């Protein structure tokens, strides 16, 4: 194995309770494919992605029924209760089977509208971003800071506000240590970048697309359908 392989981890162990569906949201269909298949597709066909690790719930009984499950580029591991636990499960696999200088892109299972261009731009930014790089989009709306009663406290200048997306792209070893240290310190890991930031790293931003939406509620499913159809 050559050094500096590029892996992808897709945490897919969640149950998607906010969708109000009996089916985990990553297995809802858009067209002829599940959301998870759409989310994995650009990694599977990208020549610079070595392996795609799908992190599954221990009681998942749907994955093996998908045709994509037979793709030789895919590895599956069992995840944990929280996203960070699932990402760590994927990183543990890389530690055991990868190289010391490997990097990883972590991508939401419910973000099906990723473009190949996004992956290309992250790969290009790697050369000048030793602490990693994430996709993000600037806020076009006025941002309000509120208190616990949802009363506006102040308005924040939107020029300084960016909305994080995935993939988020980091050196495997740095990310694994950062998540472990953050969890040990009872730090709430909301995304991989937050774990890196908690340990003093300063990831860079690459501009993403507002079309790269995360399917969280029913209306997002309709929007993703329109984006993928176009």
pLDDT at 27: 96
Alpha-carbon span 230 to 72, nearest angstrom? 29
Alpha-carbon span 177 to 195, nearest angstrom? 9
Range of the domain at 176: 6-229
Domain contains 111: yes
Mean of all residue pLDDT scores within the chain: 94
* Predicted TM-score (pTM) of this structure: 0.93
pLDDT-wise least confident of 84-93, 138-147, 208-217: 138-147
pLDDT at 3: 59
Neighbouring residues of 83: CB distance < 8 A, sequence distance ≥ 6: 11, 14, 189
Residue (of 80, 72, 78, 22) closest to 51 by Cα position: 72
Which two structure tokens, joined as six digits, stand for 119? 């992956």
Domain contains 21: yes
- Tally of domains in the chain: 1
Query: Across residues 91-111, what is the average pLDDT?
Result: 96
- Burial code (b: 16+ CB inside 10 Å, e: under 16) for 76-110 equals bbebbeebbbbbbbbbebbeeebeeebbbbbbbbb
Higher pLDDT among residues 186 and 18, named by residue = 186
Query: Across residues 85-109, what is the average pLDDT?
Result: 97
Would you place residue 29 in the very low, low, confident or very high pLDDT band (cuts 50, 70, 90)? very high
pLDDT at 21: 65
How large a percentage of the chain has pLDDT more than 70? 96
Residue (of 198, 125, 200) closest to 168 by Cα position: 125
CATH of the domain at 80: 3.90.550.10
Query: Across residues 78-83, what is the average pLDDT?
Result: 94
Alpha-carbon span 93 to 78, nearest angstrom? 10
Which two structure tokens, joined as six digits, stand for 110? 């419910």
- What residues form DSSP beta bridges with 136? 164, 207
Alpha-carbon span 169 to 35, nearest angstrom? 21
Residues in the chain: 230
Residue 63 has pLDDT above 90, yes or no: yes
Would you place residue 20 in the very low, low, confident or very high pLDDT band (cuts 50, 70, 90)? low
Query: Across residues 49-70, what is the average pLDDT?
Result: 96
Question: Pairing mode, if any, of strands 103-106 and 74-78?
Answer: unpaired
pLDDT at 185: 95
H-type alpha helices, the chain: 35-45, 83-97, 116-125, 172-184, 192-198, 218-229
pLDDT at 174: 97
Domain contains 129: yes
How large a percentage of the chain has pLDDT more than 90? 87
Each residue's pLDDT tens digit, 143-197: 898 999 999 999 988 888 999 999 999 999 999 999 999 999 999 999 999 999 9
Domain contains 1: no
């Amino acid at each position: 194995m050559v050094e500096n392989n590029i892996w992808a981890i897709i945490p897919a162990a969640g149950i998607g309770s906010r969708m109000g569906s009996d089916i985990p949201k990553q297995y809802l269909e858009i067209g002829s494919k599940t959301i998870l298949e759409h989310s994995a597709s650009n990694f599977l066909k990208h020549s610079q992605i070595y392996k795609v690790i799908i992190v599954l719930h221990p009681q998942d009984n749907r994955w093996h029924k998908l045709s994509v499950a037979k793709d030789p580029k895919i590895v599956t591991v069992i995840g944990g209760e929280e996203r960070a636990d699932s990402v760590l499960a994927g990183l543990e696999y890389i530690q055991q089977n990868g190289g010391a200088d490997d990097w990883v892109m972590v991508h939401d299972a419910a973000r099906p509208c990723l473009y190949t261009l996004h992956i290309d731009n992250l790969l290009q930014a790697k050369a000048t971003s030793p602490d990693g790089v994430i996709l993000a989009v600037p806020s076009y709306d006025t941002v309000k800071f509120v208190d616990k009663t949802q009363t506006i406290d102040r308005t924040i200048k939107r020029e300084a506000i960016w909305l994080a997306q995935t993939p988020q792209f980091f050196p495997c070893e740095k990310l694994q240590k950062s998540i472990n240290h953050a969890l040990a310190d009872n730090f709430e890991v909301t995304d991989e970048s937050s774990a890196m930031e908690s340990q003093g790293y300063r990831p860079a931003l690459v501009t993403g697309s507002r079309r790269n939406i995360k399917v969280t509620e029913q209306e997002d499913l309709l929007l993703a359908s329109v984006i993928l159809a176009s």
